Every structure is written in C-alpha cells, then in structure tokens.
Structure 1
Amino acid sequence: MNLLKAGLLAFSLLVIQVKAQSDTANTKSYADQVMIRVNLDTNIESYVFTAGEGKNASETVFSINNKTKTSLSVDYRIISATLSFAPRFLEGNNDDNMKGKSSYTDFSFRFFPGRIIQNLYYKNVKGFYVENMKDLSPDWQEGRDPYIQFPDLRVQTFGGSTSYILNKNFSAKAIYTQGEWQKKSSGSWVPFVDYDLTIFRNTIDGVKDKEVQYNIGGNIGYFYNWVIGSKVNISPYLAVGIGGKFSSYRDYQNEGIKENAQYATIRMQGGLHVGFNTDRFLFGGKMNFNANGYDQKNNQTVENNNLYGLLYMGYRFAPPKVVKNTYDKIQKKIPIL
C-alpha cells in the first residue's frame, strides 16, 4: 500500500510539473477560461473501390448525402469536447430523391497533458450512394436519373490517436483548439500513433453483411505555426504514415462463413489553418484532407478519402463557479486532469 501511495504521489508531482510548464514565455494560455466554439464545415466522406490495373482499372466511389455539418466545441483546462452532426435543413444535405438519405454524427474528446495530445472519438455514418454514376453508365444523366443507393450501409468507428510534440516551444493547442496563443513563430515534428475499430454493416435484399476492421498506424508529421503580428496565425501541416489493417468479414450468403484478412496500409494527411485571435473572440478557417488506402487480392484497391473545409467562431469567458468547482472535485480523483 505504501508503494502504491508513493507511486500516486510521484504521478501527481509529475502532473503538477507538466501543468507548471504549460505556461511559457512563448505561449499565452487560456486554460482558466471556458471557450465555446461553433464550427461549420463541408464533410465529404467517401470510399473509393478500384478494380484492375492501368487502362482496365475501374473505380466506384461511395459517398454520403451530407455535404455540410455543424459542430459545437467546449474547452476548459486540458479537455476539449466536440459534438458534430449534419442538419437536414442545410443545402446539400437533403437531396434524398436522387441520392438517398444519409446521417452523420461524431463525438470527440481531446486531452493535452503536457506535450502529449490524446484524441478519442466515435463516428456513425449511414446511407451511401454511388457518386461516379457517369463513369459506370455513360447514358446516366445528372438531375434526371437517380444514383445507385445503399440506404442501409452503416459505418461506425471507435478510434483515437496519441501524439507527442518534440519541440517544447511549439503550441499544439494554438492550432487544434485555440486554447493557447503562440507568441513567436515555431514548428515541430510530431510523431503519432492512430488506431480505430470500424464496423461496416449493410443489408441487401434482406441479407445482412458485416465486416469488422482493426486499424493501427505509425505516422510522422511536421506542423508549423506562422504568427503574423499579435492576432493572426497561419499554420500548415503534412503527415505520412504506414500501418496495418486486420479485417474480419462474415458472409451470411454463404452459411455465415467467417473470412479474415490482413493488409498493409499507407496514409497521408495535411491541412492549412488561418486564424484571428483576441482574448475574448476568435474566428478562422481550416482546410484538411485525410487519405488512406490498401491493396486487396486480384488487383483491387480500397481508399477512404476525407476532404473538408471548416469555418469557426468562438468566445471565451470566465468559468461559472459550478463548472470550476466540479472540475476541481474531479481533478482530485483524476490528477492528470
């Protein structure tokens, strides 16, 4: 028991030291403020299936009928939480007659203990259509003919990533959540590991299909925060990585036979953030892309591409007493917070 108490004490001292180092001459922290941020972004969730090689290759692009989503983020201390969904009333989210009905929801948490970034998220997407109908059927005409639809195709993802900032003078919060302001331009290499469990479910003619995928990858990226004056920053980044995908497919059309497979994956992501910041108000925009792919048997390739632009507006204010007192109580039980 004494050993356990000593371990907890040492851990608590480490956490205190990490927090003390979070405020430096290079950054201005807003950790003692509550920040509410509203985001509006275009979300293009698509899967590209390629069969064959060279001139004989053919692509089928599966997309969702939700092109715009909104999200609400709340930040306090080292925690950042975001809830996103795609409202039906927004233009581009309600073309159900031609593309079918789609739904999109995701929920994410970010923690920033010291130079570590821990991200956890859940995403639920349902309702896809074949986007490149013209490639598959030359006689197909947009606006006249409906797209091939898969209304029961559902993709659920439970995932996360763990990153480490190599440069202690670089503020990840200034880019990810605007929880800090970096006073001087600086960049950093950021190695990170990402991982997820993805479940694909579909029903065609009453027959159900289910595939479970486990993904893990190692990545390295470079982030740079270019500070212009005292209120504007421009931040590009690019990351590449490799990983593994482990798939388990249940074939219900063939007596429920289970098939397992393993694939090597390659991935790339990048983006650009432009922001304006004051102690109370902030706004800006981001453009991000995320792509990964893997080769299957018989010259078949599957890619998951995500491209989106984001606009955000936020406001910071002193925390209500009930928020501060509740957080302090939780922090006593979970010192890393």
Structure 2
Amino acid sequence: MKIKTLSFLLFIFPLVSFAQEISDDKTARYLEEDKKKISVVGGLSYLHNSFGLLYEDKVFHLRPNDAFYTEFFLRYRWLDVSFSFAPKLTHINNDDPEKGKSKYFNFGFNFFVAPKIRQYLYFSQVKGLYFQDTKEFLQLLYGNDYNEEGYLQFPDAKYRSFKGETTYLWIGNKSDYRSFNNMTYEPLKDVFVVSTGLFYQYNILSDMNRVIYQGNVITDIENNPSKDLRIALRSGAGIQKKIKNWYAVLEIYPEIYYAKLIDEDFHEFNVGGYSNGRIGYDNGKWFFGAGAQLNWINSSNENFYSATQWLFRAGIGFRFNSPTFVNRNFDKIDNIFK
C-alpha cells in the first residue's frame, strides 16, 4: 500500500468513526466492573522470521523451521501476561524434516505506569535453526558445479531476544489505548490515538557449534555467541472502529533506529516501520479475533536480524468473575499505588 493511501486512511478514518460514542460515565462504570473480571485468550500464531549472516559481501539467511505455536493471554486489572510455545502434540509444526525441528517459547507482559505511559517487556527464544541458502553458500565455497540438495541444520542453535518499549500517548489515554494491546480488553468506542515509543532490543545468537548435513554430524566447529543491540524511536497513530459487537484496529508507526553488533566494529542508522492490525467480535463475556503484525527494517546489511518479520495470530477468549479474595488483595495493592 502506498504511503499516500495510508496517510489518507489515517486522516479520514477518525473523522467518520466517532459516530458511535459512549458517555464518560458509562466508560467509568465499565472500567470499575472490569476490575472484578479475569480475561483469558487461547489461540494459534505463525511467525515468519530470518536472521541474516554476512559472508564475503553476501547475505545468507538462517531461519527456524516453519511452525504454528500456541499462544495464551491472561489479564486481571493491570496485570497483563502473554506466553506461547510449540507443543509436541501439534503435528502442524516443522513443515520439512530436512530443515530440522524448531522450538518456540515467548513470555511478556505490559502495564501502564501512568495514564499516558505504557511499559512493555518481552522475552522470546527459538531453538533449532537451518541455513536457508545452503546450496548457494556451498557453491560459493566449492564452485558452481556443486549441486547437492539438503540444508545445513543447527539443532542446538538458540536465538534469544529481550525486548522492551516505553510508549507515551500524545492523543488518548490508557482507557482508550488498552484494547490496542490485545484481545483481553473489550473495545468500548471509536478511538484515535497518537503516540511515540522508545523500543529497545538485545539479541543473542549462540550454540551453533553442532551442524547436521545429509545425516552427517559435525561437532568440531568453533563458535562464539553473536550479540547485537537495537534502539528505535517510533511515532505514529492508531485507529479503532466499533460497530455493535464487532471492531477493527489498525496501527502504523514509522521508525528510525540505531543498531550495533556488540564486540565487532559494525553499526548503522536506518529507517523502518511497524504496523499492527486486528479484527474481532466481543460481547463482553466471550470474544474472538484475528490479526497480523509487520515489522520492516530498511537495513543495508542483515547480519543483525531479519529485514522483515511478520506475525499472524488468531484466538478465542472469555471473561469470568474473579474470586473475592483476589479482588480484596488487589484492592490493597491498588491503594498503595494511588
């Protein structure tokens, strides 16, 4: 989609979307009732990612095997937790045996430290990678006549990522923005928000000293962990449209970033973009939806991380009344932070 089209949508959509407003009193009443409910979501996610490796001025891609993994969200008041993994019982994981097996684990949570400041923290790990460009890489080493099939597998390889983001809402507040986080929050009305966020990420690629190729195992490979740091400043807008119990959410954030490969003389400044969209149904008791995220980086050199990363997820959830003793204890905690 062209930039002009996106700009037009961000401009015109908020103007036509505020026809369905609810009163401040009704919003305050709902938020008070929501304090006594627990929201739970279960679903499936698919993540497409690759990690670029630079060799003789050419970028080769290291990837996890394609897989769906289960994802769960749990929210009670300001405690908003998500975690995901790929269970062994899921037979749709690891689409090609020649690429090996990949295991996923993610854990994160977000909360508001003030009405206009949101804090997001996240940890993810994927274990088991394969060399997507194996044939091209071996042809570079042994000549163009090399025509063997198969992939170099790194079964012990781990890619760990520690992420955080601190976001300030220029337009909107936490009661408006909460439903942009995930499906555990019920969208209450049409919303337009503008925000700026500082995103920070620390990545570690390690344990690549065991390789499998065409059934042969090689273990005498020296390998040191590769570490990189990325900092990005994102500014953009989000819109939420609600029609009865149906809703749609769209966020677009251009960004500028700095990336540094630790212990090596390589760093760069560049630009990119982050977008998030979701559609769903929510009647207050149960809800479902599906969405996608796209993280694009205009990187001139991919030996840090993927130049593009996209995620698709779908889930279903419900809300139920929380136990009285839980409400009582959280009331005490809330009173401390007032």
Q: Provide the TM-score with structure 1 as the length reference.
A: 0.77
1:219-234 to 2 correspondence within 5 Å? 219-228=234-243, 230-234=244-248
Alpha-carbon separation, structure 1, partners of 2:122 and 2:188: 30
Which residues of structure 2 form unaligned runs of 5+?
1-22, 210-219
Residue in structure 2 matched with residue 14 of structure 1 by the alignment: none
Aligned residue pairs, count: 295
Q: Tell me the amino acid that sits aligned with residue 150 of structure 1.
A: F
Q: Tell me the amino acid that sits aligned with residue 71 of structure 1.
A: E
8 Å CA contact 1:241, 1:267 repeated in 2: yes
Residue in structure 1 matched with residue 155 of structure 2 by the alignment: 151
SS at match of 1:328: helix
Query: Comparing both structures, which one devotes a greater share of its residues to strand?
Result: 1
8 Å CA contact 2:191, 2:240 repeated in 1: yes
Residue in structure 2 matched with residue 282 of structure 1 by the alignment: 287
Tell me: CA distance 1:310–1:179, structure 2 relative to 1, closer, same or farther (3 Å).
closer
Alpha-carbon separation, structure 1, partners of 2:146 and 2:94: 21
Q: Tell me the amino acid that sits aligned with residue 38 of structure 2.
A: V
Residues 246-284 of structure 1: per-residue CA shift (max 9 Å, x gap): 2223xxxxxxxxx34332143211132001001110100
Q: How far did 1:313 drift?
A: 0.8
Q: How far did 1:192 drift?
A: 0.6
SS at match of 1:303: coil
Residue in structure 2 matched with residue 242 of structure 1 by the alignment: 256
Residue in structure 1 matched with residue 36 of structure 2 by the alignment: 32
SS at match of 1:208: coil
8 Å CA contact 1:295, 1:302 repeated in 2: no
Tell me: CA distance 1:188–1:134, structure 2 relative to 1, closer, same or farther (3 Å).
farther
Alpha-carbon separation, structure 2, partners of 1:211 and 1:51: 14
8 Å CA contact 1:80, 1:177 repeated in 2: no
Q: How far did 1:96 drift?
A: 6.6
Residue in structure 2 matched with residue 291 of structure 1 by the alignment: 296
SS at match of 1:89: coil
Residue in structure 2 matched with residue 165 of structure 1 by the alignment: 169
Residue in structure 1 matched with residue 74 of structure 2 by the alignment: 74
Residue in structure 2 matched with residue 218 of structure 1 by the alignment: 233
Residue in structure 2 matched with residue 12 of structure 1 by the alignment: none
Q: How far did 1:131 drift?
A: 2.8
Residue in structure 2 matched with residue 43 of structure 1 by the alignment: 47
Residue in structure 1 matched with residue 89 of structure 2 by the alignment: 89
Residue in structure 1 matched with residue 98 of structure 2 by the alignment: 98
Residues 169-223 of structure 1: per-residue CA shift (max 9 Å, x gap): 7722222234544443222222111012212213333412112222211111211
Farther-moved stretch of structure 1 (158-167 vs 317-326): 317-326
Farther-moved stretch of structure 1 (274-283 vs 83-92): 83-92
Q: Provide the TM-score with structure 2 as the length reference.
A: 0.76
8 Å CA contact 2:159, 2:204 repeated in 1: yes
Alpha-carbon separation, structure 2, partners of 1:182 and 1:164: 20
Alpha-carbon separation, structure 2, partners of 1:180 and 1:195: 25
Alpha-carbon separation, structure 1, partners of 2:85 and 2:102: 11
Cα RMSD of the aligned pairs, angstroms, is 3.0
Q: Tell me the amino acid that sits aligned with residue 148 of structure 1.
A: L
Tell me: CA distance 1:302–1:68, structure 2 relative to 1, closer, same or farther (3 Å).
closer
Alpha-carbon separation, structure 2, partners of 1:48 and 1:26: 50
Q: How far did 1:44 drift?
A: 1.6
SS at match of 1:184: coil
2:122 pairs with 1:108: no
Alpha-carbon separation, structure 1, partners of 2:298 and 2:203: 15
Farther-moved stretch of structure 1 (183-192 vs 131-140): 131-140
Residue in structure 2 matched with residue 319 of structure 1 by the alignment: 322
Alpha-carbon separation, structure 2, partners of 1:309 and 1:318: 30
SS at match of 2:49: strand
SS at match of 1:312: strand
Tell me: CA distance 1:39–1:114, structure 2 relative to 1, closer, same or farther (3 Å).
farther
SS at match of 2:207: strand
Which residues of structure 1 form unaligned runs of 5+?
1-22, 250-258
Q: How far did 1:316 drift?
A: 0.6
1:169-184 to 2 correspondence within 5 Å? 171-184=176-189
8 Å CA contact 1:215, 1:244 repeated in 2: yes
Alpha-carbon separation, structure 2, partners of 1:129 and 1:331: 48
Tell me: CA distance 1:302–1:94, structure 2 relative to 1, closer, same or farther (3 Å).
closer
